[in-house]
Amino acid sequence: MPELPEVETVKRRLSLSLIDKEIIDIDVFYPSYSSLKQINNEKILDIKRKGKYLIFVLSNHFIVSHLRMEGKYHIKEEKDLSKHDLVRFNFKNFYLFYNDVRKFGTFNCFNKDIDIYNEYPLKDVGPEPFDVDGRYLYQKLTIKNEPIKAALLDQHIISGLGNIYVDETLFMSSINPHRKSNTITEFEASKLIESARIVLNKAIKLGGSTIKSFESFNGEIGHFQTELSVHLREGERCKICNAFIIKDRCAGRGTYYCPNCQREDENKKLFVITGGYASGKSSVLKILNNLGYETISLDDIYNNLFQSSTKMKNAIKKKLKISSKEELKKLVFSDKEKNNILMSITHPFVMEELYKEISKMNVQVIFIEVPLLFEGGFEKTFDKIIDVYSSPAIRDNILKNKGISYEDFIQRSNSQINIEEKRKKADFMVYNDGTKKDLLFKVKELLKMMEV
């Protein structure tokens, strides 16, 4: 459905061609629009807009038009109808056609002496982001116990924002779409208004967004879709933090957002545990879990997905021609290019599951084991990075317990960035060089340093 930028673009294009032009009469080819037949020999004095509605100001009437899903206008010099033309406005030297594949668009006609802004449908249309401040929005949101996305889509509260621009506005404001409206602060409400203005103005400048079939006028398309930060970018990297964009359902609409930039609980801290192969990451995670902290292993998520996600397995099979984990292990550690392909397939699935688990945890601190943190480009996704590295003796013992040869260890290690580079990027280090009791002591000391 065309939103404010698209309708504003249509208004501007129509104004250039129609202002001060006289409508001789109107031919209607769809019964629902029969009220237009009363218009004849009237000049178009102005074309206005309120929210997603176009308002044609005529000599003796107003015509209020809503494009809905597929409505569009075009001008031709010939009067011949094209497929799905429902209305023809006849001018002296040209014809304006209203075309609508689905026939969802609406027209309402009013006499000039009527205050159309106090009549249906305009009386129920709320103010635009350009006309209100954060205080207004905050007062509206405090009484709404529904997702903030639902409130922003409500044209009674604020008009002009549809699915595309609500997603983009929420991203720019760093607010999760599922967050309850009545938890939004006045500062955040002001940020939402400011972000909405920026997003809408940029979209208007680029002629709106052509996602499926939008044409502003005479076949012109919009270009804001090339600037989208989250909408339609499921599985792609966030332009800010490099996390993967997620798509789910909110307010009955397909909803796109960055689970990191738009955390549902911004006070929740995510601490990542990483390190080289056979460094003792899992041992550190187990100790933290035994100490009462919530923990998540990305390896466990990956293994579960490999069993349960047909979509992920089919994508792997299609791109790598492999269907078993054993084949994968042999392939990815020996072929860096194919390992990168595998990560590009699996990481969006794994990270989406990770954030689903995080959202279920009603705690403020979560430790997450991510073996390929830097290789996957996830370092900006977490609040602090803990790097675990081991002495040769501990490493060899871990390898022995896992039944992995030293040659395989070298091959797997070569598929990761080197230990020194990981150390430089980490916020905290844990050196695993002693007994389990020694490691427990070091983890407790780590927690003191981290003040958690």
Is 221 in contact with 161 (CB distance < 8 Å)? no
Active-site choice (11, 13, 52, 179): 52
Q: Is 52 marked active-site?
A: yes
Is 89 in contact with 79 (CB distance < 8 Å)? no
Active-site choice (3, 8, 168, 188): 3
In 303-441 the beta strands, taken as DSSP E runs, fall at 365-369, 384-390, 428-432
Query: How many angstroms separate the most distant Cα atoms in the chain?
Result: 94
Active-site choice (21, 49, 180, 253): 253
In 3-state terms, what secondary structure has residue 269? strand
**Assigned token pair, 441:** 């002591």
- The string of DSSP codes covering 167-195 is HHHHHHTT--TTSBGGG--HHHHHHHHHH
Residue among 241, 306, 242, 295 nearest 270 (CA) = 295
Taking each helix axis from N to C terminus, what angle separates 134-141 and 186-205, rounded to the nearest 10 degrees?
Answer: 120
Distance CA 442, CA 13 (A): 68
Q: Is 146 marked active-site?
A: no
Q: Per DSSP, what are the bridge partners of residue 96? A: 75, 89
Q: Per DSSP, what are the bridge partners of residue 385? A: 272
Distance CA 409, CA 318 (A): 28
Distance CA 300, CA 232 (A): 29
Q: Is 239 marked active-site?
A: no
- The string of DSSP codes covering 229-251 is SSTT-TTSBPTTT-PBPEEEEET
Find the helix or strand (DSSP H, E) in which 328 lies.
Answer: helix 325-332
In 3-state terms, what secondary structure has residue 1? coil
Specify burial of residue 211 (Cβ count, 10 A radius: 0-12, 13-18, 19+). Answer: middle
Q: Is 5 marked active-site?
A: no
Catalytic residues: 2-3, 52, 253
